[in-house]
Amino acid sequence: MTVLAVSNLAKRYRRGGKPFAAVDDVSFEIGPAETLALAGPSGSGKSTIARLVLRLTEPDAGRIDFESTDFLALSGAALRARRARLQMVFQDPLAAFNPRATVARVLDDPLRIHNIAPRAERRHRIAALLERVGLDAGLAARAIHEISGGQRQRVAIARAIATRPSLIVLDEAVSALDVSVRGQILELLLDLQRQERIAYLFISHDLGVIRAVAHRVVILDAGRVAESGDARAVIANPQSAIGKALVEATPRLTRNRP
Amino acid sequence: MTALLSIRDLRVAYRRDGIEVPALKGISLDVEAGERLAIIGESGSGKSTLALAVAGLLAGGAEIGGLVDWFLPASAGAKAPLSVLPDISPSRGKMGSSVAGSPLATSKIGEGRDHELISPLEGEMSGRTEGGAVERQLFHLHDKPARLGRDIGFVFQDPSSSLDPVMPIGKQIAEVVHTHLGLSWPDSFAQAKTLLDRVRLPDPEAVLHVYPHQLSGGQKQRVAIAAAIAAGPKLLIADEATSALDTIVQAEIVSLIRRLVAEDGMTLLFISHDIALAATLADRIAVLRHGELIELGETDQILNAPRHAYTRALLDAHLGLDTEPLFHRQGASA
């Protein structure tokens, strides 16, 4: 059983008048409660794939099956309903939210738009969501710009889980966080995955992070799949040129551990 | 080892909504001539403020106290010990010579804020007295102040912000050479081409004539490095210079910096949030947190025998290629 199946996906853009393939014949699957990482250098197509899966951009070719429905064929009310099951968290939550909105407002939107809870219940639901991501319910009244980067990313996760998704696209979601905060956010994501059986499409340029949280990895190069497989196996013994280059370029912390 | 610069009790505070927010709370450290010193810390640690303070690039609103003393070749000898100099007391700021008082280099890497920098006697400082003293600007720089562009090369995180978008690459670098080394324009352009070759840009002759937007992020950072080293500075400051680049380009830029620093005998101040990356380059590592210097030591000592719990926590938070996966630690997996 799969949550998401992407087949032969392709997207071309024009750059300097010439067409180039941002995504070229990419296929992968993600199962329930599984984390699949997309890795690759800048321009390898990672974020374009995220945008295609979220239908923020339409592909030129290929097929996307989400929860066993032809996702690209959906439109209108059917698309909106299905979108509740597919959420996203980006690198910079400040860019994703209205900075002057309160935390409560940010969390109220999905509950209202997707008819998750009637108005009378929402305040209670928002408090429960905040608690679920490790935040004090009292934070609800604060403005987004007033809270710390780590708290903001927790709010972004709370908003993503508000609609009970089966898949969350995490596009460099921990890349801008301090390392001490990053660990806590990754633990939270793993905990949610275990409890709620959420699958993650985890986009990152950092193989160390990928190795820590992903079950499988797809390594991309110039829009194509260079190699894929078990995350630790691929990173331990990359076969493709780009895989080898990425592993080689990752800084090693050589410590004589006790 | 001799010090290239000596930082004593450096204090910097910014004003935010009328409230003074300390960024550096009395940092003291010596940067040895020829060493590669990494300054690491998380957001709000003050690491970038330290880099800007050393370069004399702090914005006008910053309150500065303490001392940054340079020991540049021409002015190095015959100086009294700092402790006996009369003008280092923080309450006597006006007595120190200031960075702004010197003819600052008009290097393209300086974001063009040169002349209004740290000017103690004007602007928002006028009339602000605390206990009768203007608490500001205590940069005592001997008789030969360090000049940005000439004595200090600065590489920022975002090369786009340090390059002029409407000036060809060759001219941007030649300008630094012309200004600081006094070469003729033809010689300055020839030197610019040599520099583009030194930072390993393919086809330097062609790159001379292109504009920044025609280059990739990594190529732009190479150009910014070429401009930073154009005048042969003693000190190269790289402030998160690889943070916006992908892993592969980051490794290339780090190895470029390592090579150039060795070839030119420069001193390197490498500012980074990434302790693993810093460790690949640095002889010594200084760990900053909340504006304080937590720990300073040889790279090997910091990695293997950190004295401070915070340094240990930073090391433990690193997710490397030999770290046990988080889902294994928790004993669960899909």
Residue-wise pLDDT for A118-139, tens only, equals: 999 999 999 999 999 999 999 9
The whole-number pLDDT of residue B97 equals 31
Bridge partners (DSSP) listed for residue A220: A225
Cβ within 8 Å, pair A180-B313 = yes
**How far is residue B223's CA from residue B211's CA, in Å, rounded to a whole number?**
11
- What letter would DSSP give residue A181? H
Could you tell me if residue B76 is inside a domain?
Answer: yes
- Residue B327 corresponds to which tokens in the numbers above? 């889902």
CATH code for the domain of B258:
3.40.50.300
| Number of folded domains that form chain B | 1
List the single residue in A32, A42, A254 with the smallest CB-CB distance to B217.
Answer: A42
- Residue B187 corresponds to which tokens in the numbers above? 């010689």
Cβ within 8 Å, pair A42-B325 = no
Element (H, E) at B254: helix B247-264
- Could you tell me the strand order of the sheet in which B152-155 lies? B152-155, B235-239, B267-272, B36-40, B284-289, B292-298
Provide the residue range defining the domain that includes B139: 3-326
Contact yes or no for B136/B191 (Cβ under 8 A): no
- Could you tell me the strand order of the sheet in which A167-171 lies? A86-89, A167-171, A199-203, A35-39, A216-221, A224-230
* Residue A89 backbone dihedrals phi, psi, to 5 degrees: -135, 125
Could you tell me if residue B333 is inside a domain?
Answer: no
Rounded to a whole number of angstroms, the distance from the CA of A109 to the nearest CA of chain B is 30
CA-to-CA separations, B14 to B51, B109, B167, B191, in angstroms, rounded: 15, 23, 33, 40
**pLDDT tens for residues B236-252?**
999 999 998 999 999 99
Q: Which domains does chain A have, with CATH numbers?
A: 4-85+165-249 (3.40.50.300), 98-163 (no CATH)
Average pLDDT over residues B98-113: 32
Cβ within 8 Å, pair A41-B42 = no
Burial A242-258 (b: 16+ CB within 10 A, else e): bbebbbebbbebebeee
List the single residue in A180, A211, A246 with the smallest CB-CB distance to B248.
Answer: A246
CB-based contacts of B116, cutoff 8 Å, min separation 6: B60, B100, B123
Chain A residues within 8 A of B320 when measuring between CB atoms: 208, 250-253
Bridge partners (DSSP) listed for residue A168: A87, A200
* Interface mutation vs chain B, best among A2, A30, A34, A42, most B CBs within 10 Å: A42
Cβ within 8 Å, pair A255-B315 = yes
Could you tell me if residue B134 is inside a domain?
Answer: yes
CA-to-CA separations, B43 to A142, A165, A181, B236, B328, in angstroms, rounded: 22, 32, 11, 22, 29
Please identify which residue in the block is written with the tokens 């912000």.
B161
Cβ within 8 Å, pair A247-B321 = yes
**pLDDT tens for residues A159-181?**
999 999 999 999 999 998 999 89
Cβ within 8 Å, pair B315-A253 = yes
Cβ within 8 Å, pair B326-A251 = no
Contact yes or no for A70/A7 (Cβ under 8 A): no
Q: What percent of chain B has pLDDT over 70?
A: 76
Cβ within 8 Å, pair B319-A34 = no
**pLDDT tens for residues B23-59?**
999 999 999 999 999 999 999 999 999 999 999 888 8
Chain B residues within 8 A of A179 when measuring between CB atoms: 42, 273, 314, 317-318
**How far is residue B8's CA from residue B28's CA, in Å, rounded to a whole number?**
4
Q: Which residue from B217, B275, B244 is spatially nearest to A175, judged by alpha carbons?
A: B244
The whole-number pLDDT of residue A41 equals 94
Could you tell me if residue B233 is inside a domain?
Answer: yes
Element (H, E) at B38: strand B36-40
Could you tell me if residue B88 is inside a domain?
Answer: yes
Contact map slice: B 249-268 vs A, CB within 8 A: 249-252
Bridge partners (DSSP) listed for residue B289: B292
pLDDT at B94 over 50: no
- Residue B172 corresponds to which tokens in the numbers above? 């941007």
Cβ within 8 Å, pair A253-B313 = no
Is B332 an interface residue toward A (CB < 8 Å)?
A: yes
pLDDT at A11 over 80: yes
Cβ within 8 Å, pair A180-B42 = yes
ipTM: 0.89
Could you tell me if residue B334 is inside a domain?
Answer: no
Q: Which runs of E-coded beta strand occur in chain A? A: 4-15, 18-30, 35-39, 61-66, 69-70, 86-89, 167-171, 199-203, 216-221, 224-230
Could you tell me if residue B332 is inside a domain?
Answer: no
pLDDT bin (cut points 50, 70, 90) of residue A196 is very high
Could you tell me if residue B251 is inside a domain?
Answer: yes
Chain B residues within 8 A of A178 when measuring between CB atoms: 42-43, 273
Rounded to a whole number of angstroms, the distance from the CA of A184 to the nearest CA of chain B is 10
Is A194 an interface residue toward B (CB < 8 Å)?
A: yes
Q: Where are the alpha helices (DSSP H) in A72-230?
A: 76-83, 93-96, 103-113, 119-132, 149-161, 179-196, 207-213
Q: How many CA atoms lie within 13 A of B200 on its CB side?
A: 10
**pLDDT tens for residues B114-142?**
333 333 333 333 223 233 232 333 444 44
**pLDDT tens for residues B213-228?**
999 999 999 999 999 9
